Chains A and B, each alone.
Chain A
């Protein structure tokens, strides 16, 4: 990550030097010619993330993301999720934490699409992994029973609340107990799995809702890196941040298309934020992203990272 940021900073610096070096020569244009060059697009300084150590960075949860994804009209596909049986493979704390995040994303996906059989299975797996990670005290002891009761009464809204609450219980417990590095691994695992699911829900279609939602993850990866930066003194966190570097760099290459001027209006008691740019994803970028995300995700679920 540091290496990456340094690289981009150097590129920016070189751009600045090249851009301005010839301005300071102190040469008089007297008796000289004037040549007008064509307009030039200067994107040297575009899209270099500036992370502020004093800023708090938040990352949306998989629950929120899949609520959005559901609206794109995609269909549920349980075959792409991590099998609950894999949980037995995970022996190191690092892999357990990453896969805890993976299973949370799978649970969020299943909950959003009301896939009852998968929901129960993932609640059970999360409970098992929470024991391994020493955070089972934080979770509601009767989480599985509650999930089962909600399923029997066909109460999908309560299941969504239960899945959301379970995430917060784990999150708060880790924060309170100053286990931020474990939290960072969980958040990263959840995000990678969410991205993996998204990129496997449909083929590339320029400008489609799904591809647009995937492109928008460019905003999230900036916040994810900002969030993880706080814990990068932990070697496990630093290692996975390095694994994420290629994906991060690819996101930075996504171009943005100018849109309408930004405006804020109000309708009834609700404000509407409009305008701004749109993130574009090409077919090549989509394929590359899919490949990189699959690679990292498979290393995580195979316990090889």
Chain B
């Protein structure tokens, strides 16, 4: 009997955190491996949430010039996802370009007899336009599926982090609609003052 209670207790101990976490993913990011000992502080822009496996989550963050950042991902409820996240860091850049514009206008002229003539005039102009272009700054698939990204920036910028939550083993995208395929995912962002001169470490 005592052994039965012990076993039940152990099972409960194993299941309980997972069950609790699956109900509420708030602040799940605190379970991610942090780099406090390297001097990093947890950044307020970290994200916790429940995401359907097979979906892509997007978050926009601000990173400051001369700060060093570390971004990493974890899923305490779905350990099997750890190490398998795909993520990209994208920056929207404003790119100037010249655009040829042709417009037509009607002008009035007079012929040799003083008669009014309507002349259609083609007007060509070049306009400076500013296009917004998404530039991929980092793609972990091109970095041996690295699960953390440490960087500094020479300017303050707005970045969008796109995280793909992998499907369960052998799953397909349709399963993403089912409740049991949701996973609690934490995007941990940490920061510390970076090298201020010349980006030399």
Residues of A in contact with B (beta carbons under 8 Å apart): 19, 22-23, 25, 27-43, 45-46, 52, 54-61, 63-65, 67-68, 71, 160-161, 164, 167-168, 171-172, 175-176, 213, 216, 219-220, 222-223, 226, 256, 258-259, 262, 264, 267-278
Query: In the bound complex, what is the Cα–Cα distance between A213 and B41 (angstroms)?
Result: 21
Q: Are B137 and A264 in contact (CB under 8 A)?
A: yes
Query: In the bound complex, what is the Cα–Cα distance between A270 and B137 (angstroms)?
Result: 13
Q: A172-B26, A272-B199 are in contact. Are A34 and B60 (CB under 8 A)?
A: no
Q: Are B102 and A23 in contact (CB under 8 A)?
A: yes
* Distance between B61 CB and nearest chain A CB, rounded to angstroms: 5
Q: Are A219 and B157 in contact (CB under 8 A)?
A: yes
* Distance between B39 CB and nearest chain A CB, rounded to angstroms: 9
Contacts of B57 in A (CB 8 A): 56
Query: In the bound complex, what is the Cα–Cα distance between A273 and B58 (angstroms)?
Result: 20
Identify the closest chain B residue to A157 (Cβ). Answer: B39
Query: In the bound complex, what is the Cα–Cα distance between A275 and B95 (angstroms)?
Result: 12
Q: Are A168 and B128 in contact (CB under 8 A)?
A: no
Q: Does B24 contact A (CB under 8 A)?
A: yes
Q: Are B121 and A272 in contact (CB under 8 A)?
A: no
The digit string for B31-57, where 1 denotes a CB below 8 A from any CB of A, is: 000000000011111110100000001
Query: In the bound complex, what is the Cα–Cα distance between A274 and B152 (angstroms)?
Result: 9
Q: Does B151 contact A (CB under 8 A)?
A: yes
**15 other contacts beyond A176-B27, A273-B153, A274-B154, with CB at 8 A cut-off?**
A27-B104, A30-B120, A37-B123, A45-B130, A54-B58, A55-B160, A58-B46, A59-B44, A60-B43, A68-B67, A160-B41, A168-B42, A219-B62, A222-B158, A277-B94
Q: Are B158 and A223 in contact (CB under 8 A)?
A: yes
Query: In the bound complex, what is the Cα–Cα distance between A50 and B55 (angstroms)?
Result: 22
* Distance between A9 CB and nearest chain B CB, rounded to angstroms: 16
* Interface of chain B residues 100 through 129 with chain A (CB within 8 A): 101-107, 119-129
* Distance between A265 CB and nearest chain B CB, rounded to angstroms: 9
Query: In the bound complex, what is the Cα–Cα distance between A71 and B196 (angstroms)?
Result: 8
Chain B interface residue count, CB cutoff 8 Å, equals 68
Query: In the bound complex, what is the Cα–Cα distance between A82 and B40 (angstroms)?
Result: 29
Identify the closest chain A residue to B189 (Cβ). Answer: A58
Identify the closest chain B residue to A163 (Cβ). Answer: B41
Query: In the bound complex, what is the Cα–Cα distance between A31 and B45 (angstroms)?
Result: 63
Contacts of A220 in B (CB 8 A): 62
Query: In the bound complex, what is the Cα–Cα distance between A216 and B149 (angstroms)?
Result: 23
Q: Are B158 and A276 in contact (CB under 8 A)?
A: no
Contact of A64 among B64, B120, B125, B128 (CB under 8 A): B64
Q: A40-B128, A58-B62, A68-B64 are in contact. Are A271 and B45 (CB under 8 A)?
A: no
Q: Are A58 and B98 in contact (CB under 8 A)?
A: no
Contacts of B41 in A (CB 8 A): 63-64, 160-161, 164
Q: Are A213 and B156 in contact (CB under 8 A)?
A: yes
Q: Are A268 and B201 in contact (CB under 8 A)?
A: yes
Identify the closest chain A residue to B158 (Cβ). Answer: A219
Query: In the bound complex, what is the Cα–Cα distance between A267 and B59 (angstroms)?
Result: 26
Query: In the bound complex, what is the Cα–Cα distance between A39 and B128 (angstroms)?
Result: 7
Contact of A256 among B62, B94, B149 (CB under 8 A): B94
* Distance between A163 CB and nearest chain B CB, rounded to angstroms: 10
8 tightest A-B contacts by CB? A58-B45, A61-B44, A37-B125, A29-B122, A271-B151, A172-B27, A216-B156, A32-B120
Query: In the bound complex, what is the Cα–Cα distance between A56 and B62 (angstroms)?
Result: 12
Query: In the bound complex, what is the Cα–Cα distance between A267 and B153 (angstroms)?
Result: 12
Q: Does B91 contact A (CB under 8 A)?
A: yes
Q: Does B174 contact A (CB under 8 A)?
A: no
Can you spell out 8 A-B residue pairs with CB atoms less than 8 angstroms apart?
A19-B101, A42-B130, A45-B130, A58-B61, A61-B45, A63-B41, A175-B27, A272-B151
Q: Are B201 and A267 in contact (CB under 8 A)?
A: yes
Query: In the bound complex, what is the Cα–Cα distance between A61 and B41 (angstroms)?
Result: 12
Contact of A68 among B47, B66, B98, B157 (CB under 8 A): B66
Q: A19-B101, A29-B104, A160-B41 are in contact. Are A258 and B91 (CB under 8 A)?
A: no
